[in-house]
Chain A
Amino acid sequence: MALPEPPRTLLWKGHELYPARTRDRRIAAALLLLSVILLLTAGCGGYSSQAGKYLTEARSQVLGSAYALEHFGDGEVSGPFLRASLEQYAIAMKSTARSISSLEPPPDAREEHRQEVETVSRARSLVQQAGHRGIALKRAKELAQKLRSITQELKEP
């Protein structure tokens, strides 16, 4: 025995609600899909935009470390604050270096990509050591200078 066909409309105060609701849902779904596509288009660029984002992050972390070291050298930042800051910057740089190295560069950018990973790792190593062992007031500005010169190597592609 054939089952009765389910009602295609719901009656409410004499109006057919179902078709209108279906249309609204379809419009909402289409708008949602469109916004997701737009976001994906805008956000997920290729290698260069991803690398650019991570390099900006890395540069910012290195500059932050340098800034804290300089002010420590001037007696404007306490020792514990400097140590905690450098430890946190080193952790952040490690994560950024990992993100950069996970990117797949096009063949003509492979050498540059390798150097960028190396540069961030070098900066991380310097910051981590200073955070772990501590640093003398006199040497703080010297290290800050070294870190600033490293940021010159971290140019956006």
Chain B
Amino acid sequence: MRKYLSVTLGILTAIGGYVDVGAIATAGEAGSKYGFGLIWAMLLGTVCIIFLIEMVGRMSAMNDKTYMDILREKFGIKFALLPLASELIANFLLLAAEIGGAAFALYLLTGIPFQIWTAAVALSLWLLLWRGSFSLIEDGTSILGLVTLCFLVASFTLGTPWNAAAKGVVLPSIGSGSPVDYFYIAAGILGAIISPYLLFFYSSGSREEGWTRKMIRSNRIIAVVGMGFGSVSAISIILVSAVALKPLGIQVGQLQTVALGLVKAFGIWGVYLFAATLFICCFGAATEIALALSFEVTQIMGWKYGEDRKPRDAAVFNLIFLVYIVGSTLLIGLTGMDPLQLTIFSVIFTALVLPAVVVPFLAVMNDPTYLKDQINGPFSNVAVLLIVLLTFVLSAVSIPLTILTGGG
């Protein structure tokens, strides 16, 4: 039974990819501008990330190494430094955005400017990571993260035309919108879902839980349920925005606009539910990013790591997330930068090096040294090849699309 409870690791991982500050705004923008016309991007991203998460989980269950450990061991430290360097920059910006997102939720509840809340959010984040165990973080975030399902309930309450939504998936339409803007949002959705730190985090999380080959089957279920949860939540945001905001001519360009869809469904409770969703998801994503950063650096350098170790036994691991939290808080708190702008820069960085993180799957997942009798079959290899192709496309178009749209 306990091994199926590891689904919380899948849900926590999914929160970072699907319902963090940037993903909530992007899903809202997609629905309010193009109705059901971008649900396909969410589904495509979900299929890709399910494959990758399942593989990275299988990899970690079959030996006592994380994906970053294997990258360093198999391809050398120089190769692993490229994704690491990009992750250090992208995740620094993303962490600042998530802290800003959680603070923004408190701003919506209290009216006190979000810059003031950033210090409180950062302190709580550090305390949780410093004192809390890995299971407390994953179980707590996953259980509280269920609040995002309020968007699913709202999609029913608002009377989503399901036939039209299904048609939008099969025959997506740009309508009167701009094709460049449409593909920019599609790339943003895919770039946020197929995010390298999710893979590194899931891999490290499975090591924290001490997975063995007995987890192979559960890992598949965890990948599907966890990513499925994220996908359902994010698609629900698209549906709510499409049904509640698009007919009114309101497009999501700011976070508070997403809340208006829930207000239509639940009245004043919509405000509280949105603020709770935003806070929990951004805070959860911030814990995931801070931990992922510490995991990546310590694993590549061969230093001791582990959220469940006492801080003095993994001092550098604890120091790294402290430095990152302080730096990110200063960035968002002192400059007052828009969290959404920060996520745009972060997604560009991430998309650029995405192929460097995904291409090694082809070699690692077919190497019996690491996978033993659990190497990829032909079907999984074709899937990885297609995902690699997609990552190259995302990498090539991310900068031109951002320049052309002016970042949204």
Contact = CB atoms under 8 A, between A and B. Distances in A.
Interface of A: 32, 35-36, 39-40, 42-44, 49, 53, 56-57, 59-61, 63-64, 67-68, 71, 75-81, 83-85, 88-89, 92, 151
Interface stretch (B82-90, B107-115, B156-164): B107-115
Interface residues of B, number: 31
8 contacts: A56-B251, A63-B248, A64-B257, A80-B111, A81-B256, A81-B271, A83-B111, A84-B108
Nearest to A83: B111
A10 to B, nearest CB: 22
Interface in B236-257: 248-251, 253-257
A39 B401 contact: yes
Give chain B's interface secondary structure class. helix
B268 interface: yes
Interface of B: 107-111, 178-180, 248-251, 253-257, 259-260, 263, 267-268, 270-271, 275, 396-397, 400-401, 404-405
Give chain A's interface secondary structure class. helix
Contacts of A61: 253-254
Contact of A39 (B180, B250, B271): B180
B253 A80 contact: no
B268 A85 contact: no
B248 A77 contact: no
A78 B251 contact: no
Contacts of A49: 178
Given A39-B180, A44-B404, A84-B108, A77 B256 contact: no
A63 B249 contact: yes
Given A77-B271, A92-B253, 16 more contacts: A39-B397, A53-B178, A59-B249, A60-B249, A60-B251, A60-B253, A63-B249, A64-B256, A64-B257, A76-B263, A80-B110, A81-B111, A81-B256, A84-B111, A88-B254, A88-B255
A97 B10 CA distance: 44
A48 to B, nearest CB: 13
A144 to B, nearest CB: 12
